[in-house]
Chains A and B, each alone.
Chain A
Amino acid sequence: MKDFIEGSEAVARAVCLCKPGVISAYPITPQTHIVEGLAQMVADGRLKCQFVNVESEHSAASVVLGAVAAGERVFTASSSQGLILMSEVIFNIAGMRMPVVLACVNRSLSAPINIWNDLQDSMALRDSGWVQLYAENNQEALDLTIQAYRLAEDSRALVPVMVCLDGYVLSHGLEVVDIPEEDKVAQFLPPFNPAEKLDTANPKSFGLLAGPDYYLEIRHDLHQAVKDTLKLIPEITADFKRIFGRDSGGLVESYRLEDAEMAIVSAGSVCGTIKDTVDNLRAEGKKVGLLRIITYRPFPEELILQALAKVPMVAILDKAISLGATGPIYADLKAAFQGKPGKKISGYIAGLGGRDITPDTIKEIFQQLAGPEVSNQFIGLKSSF
């Protein structure tokens, strides 16, 4: 069934189709519509689920951690300061290998307070042991949410998954979205049946102390599990296509990269703008393309190396920055290409705090890419106020 809906509603409908047993969240702009929608579904009896109201995001994350440990499928969502307040639990969820699915509606971080979109919030948690998926549009936000449960709960993975969608651009923007039938979702997503769970009849402890003799191995194990999802994700997207009939999600997307002399690498909804600009520049005879990162953690290094192997000039558009260093995607890409000379790789920062990234911004990046190699060049910076 097709419907004209916000990205927030697309995520809420996807979650409803996956039938979680426990949802807990705390309202924060611009994420609020997701859990408002879910709360309404629970209140109307359309979703049989315990919706736990809490006093903070730290508690929301703790509630879903406890519930998933007890064997329930769970969901939470947040943005910006809320996600950062969750972060202590976020690391624990991954460390305890709990298949939580969280929607992050991307918003800038304070201070100064700014409610608009960039990717600084989820990027700050890229080292937490969560799989991070970035949606380009509302359809993908819905599809990635369903795929996220399948991936997280796979006994070969057991890692949490964060589905990231741009605040306002997607969360409050309306698009036509194909909403799958319940029976197809049931066919794609088996019931959650963890091998180990909290059970009073068979007591166990989770989240134990591990001293220097064990910690290194346990961290390595988590690192390996996150990396191994690089193999599971293509398997899951192939199965998704088999059942729902559409290509959606995956690791990376190459857009008009064949014969490209210049390419931009980025993630999220800005890639829609980049695609349009690439089409227009191609019409003028410019050989440009886009590499869209869908799965940012684990970092699909091999595929990125392959996709960009023949592109001599690569620009990374980061909507986040590791302050005092570079954009996060730039740093990862630069590291991936270390020891492989003969390529210009430049890093650009744009769109922080909701500054619009227009086709002109994209054109400016392509123009600058022809110039000297840079690592953290801000685009559109005003010189005076």
Chain B
Amino acid sequence: MRIKLTAEPGSARNNKTGSWRVERRPQFLQKNCSACRMCILVCPEGIVSGKEKNSFKTDYLYCKGCGLCAAVCPKKDIEMVPEETESKK
């Protein structure tokens, strides 16, 4: 067999699938965040991290730009911005 057909646990990390993202990405404003953790819960990629208020962020290497985190945030503290927008952080 010339091509290995099995994968070790956690190897999905090797694929930087953030390149699949089109048009918009979430911007974590870190202004009104209440640390409710809803964004962590809904992110289908499991890549949102943070503990303290106004510390939450995502990993753009994997973020697909689905917008679920922005939609769920009760504080409207996550904004979907066009991909070409300069990062504030």
**A residues within 8 Å of B by Cβ?**
96-97, 158, 196, 203-208, 214, 217-218, 221, 224-225
Contacts and interface: CB of A to CB of B under 8 A. Distances in A.
B6 A206 contact: yes
A218 B3 contact: yes
Contact of A203 (B2, B3, B5, B9): B9
A204 B7 contact: yes
A205 B2 contact: no
Contact of B3 (A204, A207, A217): A217
B3 A205 contact: no
B6 A221 contact: no
A247 to B, nearest CB: 31
B1 A158 contact: yes
Nearest to B15: A211
A100 B40 CA distance: 43
B1 A221 contact: yes
Interface string B1-45: 111011111000000000000000000000000000000000000
B19 to A, nearest CB: 11
Interface of B: 1-3, 5-9
A144 to B, nearest CB: 24
Greatest chain B CB density within 10 A among A204, A206, A217 is at A204
B13 to A, nearest CB: 13
A206 B5 contact: yes
Nearest to A96: B5
A221 B3 contact: yes
Contact of B6 (A158, A196, A218): A196
Nearest to B17: A211
Given A205-B9, A218-B3, 4 more contacts: A204-B6, A204-B7, A204-B9, A225-B1
A205 B7 contact: yes
Contacts of A158: 1
Nearest to B4: A196
B18 to A, nearest CB: 15
A134 to B, nearest CB: 27
A204 B1 contact: no
Contacts of B5: 96-97, 206-208, 218
19 contacts: A97-B1, A97-B5, A196-B6, A203-B9, A204-B7, A204-B8, A204-B9, A205-B7, A205-B9, A207-B5, A208-B5, A208-B6, A208-B7, A214-B3, A218-B3, A218-B5, A221-B1, A221-B2, A224-B2
B31 to A, nearest CB: 38
Nearest to B8: A204
A207 B6 CA distance: 7
B5 to A, nearest CB: 6
Contacts of A97: 1, 5
Contacts of B8: 203-204
Nearest to B11: A205
Contacts of B1: 97, 158, 221, 225
A221 B5 CA distance: 11
A172 to B, nearest CB: 39
Nearest to A218: B3
Greatest chain A CB density within 10 A among B3, B5, B6 is at B5
Contacts of A196: 6
Contacts of A205: 6-7, 9
A196 B5 CA distance: 10
Contacts of A206: 5-6
A206 B3 CA distance: 13
Contacts of A214: 3
Greatest chain A CB density within 10 A among B1, B2, B8, B9 is at B1
A217 B3 CA distance: 8
